[in-house]
Amino acid sequence: MFKDKEIGYGKSILVSLGLILTVFFALSWVIPTGLSVGTTFQSSEMTNPIGFFDFFRVPASTLVNSSHIIFYILLIGGLYGILGQTGSYNKLVDKTAKCLKKRIVANTTLIFSIATTLTGNLYLIFVFVPFFIAVLFKNKVDKLTAFAATVGAILVGNVVGILSSNMLVTIKSYYAVETTTMFIEKLIIVAVFITLYTMWVNKRKGEEKHEKIPLLFEEKKSSKQDSYIMFNVLTGMIVVFLFLVMFNWSTLFEIEFFKNISTNIMDNKILSKITGGFNNFGNWGLYDLTIMIMAYIAMLIFIFGIKLEVAFESFKEGTKQVLKPALLGAATFVVYHLIMVTDNSTGYNIYNTVTNFVFEITGEFAILGTFINSIFSSLVYSDFGFFVHYLSNVADFTSAASIPLLTLVMQMTHGLMMLLVPTSLFLVAGLSLVEVSYFKWMKYIFKISLLFLLLGTIFVGMIAYMV
């Protein structure tokens, strides 16, 4: 295990990714590519190894195909640069720091973990991480604890998202499992995990004096007016609006209200011309979020009378601070692109060969096969949608009655892996933002992760016995 003094947070992430890439490089030379269609597997009986030029082509293709992630993280940095020029934002940080001072670590952990499990909206919730990091740093909470109480809590809440529209809708579309299936079981698991994790993080509570707080900027020039109340009202309205329109009410609860609002707007000749084209409320994703962040930035500049040159410089300073998190976050997709190099454009790749082999050797023990393949797949696909897509043949290896349980295993395994692997987007971006070594995080989170795995295994075993 590397020590913090020997290797920094950026290098620790790159070293970890390098080790994974080396393993997949070696596998590509010995494992023949294959194609899975249901329970039918076709092997090409030949390898399609990763070559010399691929090592240069893969990083380039990763950056290009992950440009939306880079832009998203850079935009967050720019947003906080602008927020610092309002005066009201820094006042909000100070007041929140004083208000939450007594139980700040526990409260922050609960806020992030519960918000994540109830919405599953990681991209939106991650936007609030710099704010709470500033609040925690103001109270002299050390970097590792601050990271654990924010990004770590997001990932724990995502282990089994009881109302995660992204997870539940994806599972329903691939496996025809209703969104309310095993709700009580999931609720119990989430409650236990969040409670244990909150106690684990709160127990540490290390103190550290911070000379620099990430994405907290001093006002270059006083804004034209002190609009603290207006700032809070505007920000609150934007936040509530985003949580409402980024949650799939229609599929989860058959509530068409928000979808109908957007439909009525688009059906109105005048309003449709004013707004332009946009996705139905309830189906908003990352692209819509970035548009709203840009609109919010424009509102702040106008309301607080921030001069354009000041706004430009502040935005640039914010993006500078998150440039490394943005690039390292994009790098988490490199394993996926490396796997695609072994694809011969007809769907044959080493991923299919490995997952089919696992299902064959586990045979009737579909839960074990799903668990192992979920671990392997999580290294490749941090995005849950891709993860489920490439494991969609799970249903072909078991009975229909077992599918809901297998999807629960997939959810838990993928969620736990996102706490650990260096291909986890939010893990890597968060570690880089707070400047915490990946190896230091692994040392801290490993024991509680094993406990989660043990408890998860017991829960799944009990459910399987009762079913």
Place of tokens 């299902």: 359
φ, ψ dihedrals at 34, nearest 5°: -150, 170
Which pLDDT score, from 0 to 100, does residue 377 have?
A: 87
Which residues, 6+ apart, have CB-to-CB distance to 134 below 8 Å?
93, 97, 213, 214, 215, 216
Q: How confident is the model at residue 130 (pLDDT cuts 50, 70, 90)?
A: very high
Alpha helix segments (H runs only) across 221-365: 228-245, 249-253, 257-267, 269-275, 286-303, 308-321, 323-331, 334-341, 350-362
pLDDT digits (tens, 9 = 90+) for 134-152: 999 999 999 999 999 999 9
Q: Between 166 and 68, name the one with better pLDDT.
A: 68
Q: Give the single-character DSSP code of 42.
A: E
User: For residue 423, which of 431, 412, 434 has the smallest C-alpha distance?
Assistant: 431
Which residues, 6+ apart, have CB-to-CB distance to 252 below 8 Å?
163, 165, 168, 169, 179
In this model, does residue 49 exceed pLDDT 70? yes
Place of tokens 């769907």: 347
Give the residue-averaged pLDDT of 315-320.
Answer: 95
In this model, does residue 449 exceed pLDDT 90? yes
Which pLDDT score, from 0 to 100, does residue 72 have?
A: 96
C-alpha to C-alpha distance for 209 and 374, rounded to whole angstroms: 40
262 occurs within a structural domain: no
C-alpha to C-alpha distance for 257 and 261, rounded to whole angstroms: 6
370 occurs within a structural domain: yes
Give the strand pairing for 34-37 and 40-43: antiparallel
Rounded to two decimals, the pTM is: 0.91
277 occurs within a structural domain: no
- Domain range for 115 is 9-248+283-466
pLDDT digits (tens, 9 = 90+) for 330-373: 888 887 777 766 665 667 878 888 888 888 888 778 888 889 98
**Whole-number CA gyration radius for the chain:** 23
- Give, in degrees to the nearest 5, the angle at Cα 376 between 372 and 380: 155
Q: What percent of the chain has pLDDT over 90?
A: 47
256 occurs within a structural domain: no
C-alpha to C-alpha distance for 348 and 36, rounded to whole angstroms: 8
208 occurs within a structural domain: yes
Give the residue-averaged pLDDT of 181-198.
Answer: 93
**Token reading at 89:** 């934002």
Q: How many CB atoms lie within 10 A of CB 376?
A: 16
452 occurs within a structural domain: yes
215 occurs within a structural domain: yes
C-alpha to C-alpha distance for 460 and 296, rounded to whole angstroms: 44
User: For residue 438, which of 6, 11, 5 has the smallest C-alpha distance?
Assistant: 11
In this model, does residue 230 exceed pLDDT 60? yes
Buried b / exposed e along 182-196 (16+ C-beta atoms within 10 A): beebbeebbeebbee
User: For residue 2, which of 448, 438, 445 has the smallest C-alpha distance?
Assistant: 438
Residue pair 304/222 in contact by the 8 Å Cβ criterion? no
400 occurs within a structural domain: yes
Q: What percent of the chain has pLDDT over 70?
A: 94
Q: How many CB atoms lie within 10 A of CB 387?
A: 22
Give the chain's domain count: 1
Q: Give the single-character DSSP code of 4.
A: T
User: For residue 432, which of 133, 166, 186, 179 has the smallest C-alpha distance?
Assistant: 133
Strand segments (E) across 394-453: none
Q: How confident is the model at residue 314 (pLDDT cuts 50, 70, 90)?
A: very high
